[in-house]
Amino acid sequence: MTSPAVAYARQNHPRFLSELKDLLRIPSISTLPENQGDCRHAAETLAAELKRIGMENARLIETEQNPLVYADWLHASGKPTALCYGHYDVQPVDPLDEWLSPPFEPAERDGNIYARGSADDKGQVWAQIKALESLMATGGGKLPLNVRVLFEGEEEVGGEGIANFVASKPPELKSDFALISDTELFAPGLPTLCVGLRGMIYTEIEVRGAKTDLHSGMYGGAAPNPFVALAQIVAKLKDENGHILIPGFYDGIIPPSPEELKAWSSLPFDEEEYRIREVGSKQLVGEQGYSVGTADPRCSWHARRLYRRGRKNGDSGQGLGQSVDAAGPGNDSGEIVCALQGLRGKDCARRRRGDRTHDPRRRPLPDSGQQPLYPGGNAGVERGLGTRYGLYSLRRVGSDCGRL
Ligand SMILES: [Zn+2]
């Protein structure tokens, strides 16, 4: 039987959707200084809505950049306290001409809403708020448990503000568990619980050859070429079987538990559909033995991963910089960085720039789905959504929300 709160949510679906679109129209891009006012506008919009639906102590908590949004309702005596997290900032929108519809004019196509932030993370944030509204509106202004809400506006730029806030151990965080809605459903209609995060580190490698630009006709072949050195460094990171060559990279990896493997194998996963529709590539790659190519989704959920990417569009690196991300559940990111430093090219001197190499805040959060919370959550989803699916244990790449 549908609960009154779910019935309320269904009845109010058109309004909820229209309100979400208003939030999506706010260009709260945290990487661009010119959008700082928009970020504040988004924060104020969320705080006002939390207050309107009956949450208490709704307010902005100032940080050095974009404010946090906080609210609570703590009158369910003897009941546990949930801390709900999401973020209201979004990524930049370049390249603009590749959008089928403008990024801040929400458009509905094939049952989806297309707008910057619709899936990361304003849609999820709004779902949390509307769930609270539905519960309060049908529960006489009360919630069945105690709830704190904390939204941030710097998730896409490193999350300094919330990191400092969390480190100060404020009373606003006192809770029994955190519910982080910054992930996705595995498939439409399939509730998903992500119970672990892979760690993530960044390092920036700057390669220098000669002391100044040189004419290739006179010096080519003799003077060291930074691009060649960079290519050599990158080529040393992985072998042709996808095995990562950084010394120590595989140390301390926590293998998935039998329960996790069982849960993963029960997911509706179609490798060809994944390759064609989601990845859009001619083939899939991965480490042998853990590949999606063997219909084993562990490749992307659990297996070690290393990838390289250049910097552009709102990222802060300039010039010849090349960033290297390395991740593996259970790895110590500091050790990986040390190993990376050991991969030296022959021809050029290299130096690391800045102190962003080792960001301990993006540590792995290994979890095998053993917490006593999960069976209750599973039952709750089945009761609330009337679906036979339960919650699944996925591990995905590390995110700022791991700090909670
Ligand atoms: Zn996000």
Give residue-wise pLDDT tens across range 328-361: 434 444 555 555 555 544 444 443 333 333 343 4
Q: Looking at the structure, do residues 152 and 208 belong to the same domain, yes or no? A: no
- Give the CATH number for residue 142: 3.40.630.10
Query: Which domain does 89 fall in, by range?
Result: 4-182
Confirm whether 213 is domain-assigned: yes
Are 86 and 98 a contacting pair, CB within 8 Å? no
Identify whether 230 is part of a domain. Answer: yes
Do 249 and 105 fall within a single domain? no
pLDDT band at 287 (very low <50, low <70, confident <90, very high): confident
Asked if residue 171 and residue 210 are part of one domain, the reply reads no
pLDDT over 60 (residue 326): no
Distance 86 CA to ligand 1 centre (A): 7
Distance between Cα 88 and ligand 1 center (Å):
9
Q: How far is the CA of 120 from the centre of ligand 1 (A)?
A: 5
- What is the distance in A from the centroid of ligand 1 to the CA of 102? 20
Q: What is the pLDDT of residue 311?
A: 37
**Both 352 and 239 in a single domain?**
yes
Q: Are 140 and 72 in contact (CB under 8 A)?
A: no
Contact 175, 84 (CB under 8 A): no
Are 115 and 23 spatial neighbours (Cβ–Cβ below 8 Å)?
no
Q: Is 49 a catalytic residue?
A: no
In angstroms, what is the span from residue 216 Cα to ligand 1's centroid?
A: 45
Instruction: Calculate how far, in angstroms, residue 106's C-alpha sits from the geometric centre of ligand 1.
Output: 18
Same domain, 205 and 103: no
Pick from 326, 344, 362: which residue ends a domain?
Answer: 362
Residues 400/158, Cβ–Cβ less than 8 Å: yes
Position 372 scores a pLDDT of: 64
> Residue 201 above 70 pLDDT?
no
Catalytic residue among 121, 155, 260, 367: 155
**Active-site residue among 38, 89, 172, 206?**
89
Does the active-site annotation cover 89?
A: yes
Per-residue pLDDT tens digits for 222-235: 999 888 888 888 88
Residue 331 lies inside a defined structural domain of this protein:
yes
> Quick one: 176 and 132 in the same domain?
yes
Q: Could you tell me the pLDDT band of residue 117, with boundaries at 50, 70 and 90? A: very high
Residue 249: CB atoms within 10 Å: 21
Same domain, 12 and 158: yes
For residue 296, the model assigns a pLDDT of 46
Q: Are residues 172 and 205 in the same domain?
A: no
The reported pTM is 0.75
Q: For helices 122-138 and 4-11, give the axis angle rounded to 10 degrees.
A: 120
391 inside domain: no
Question: Does 355 lie in the same domain as 249?
Answer: yes
pLDDT tens digits for range 93-105: 999 999 999 999 9
What spacing in Å lies between the alpha carbon of 180 and ligand 1's midpoint? 10
Give the CATH number of the domain where residue 219 resides.
3.30.70.360
Please indicate, yes or no, if residue 294 is contained in any of the structural domains: yes
Same domain, 93 and 236: no
How many domains does the structure of the chain reveal?
2
Residues 84 and 57 grouped into a single domain = yes
Q: Does residue 222 share a domain with residue 128?
A: no
Mean pLDDT of the chain, nearest integer: 78
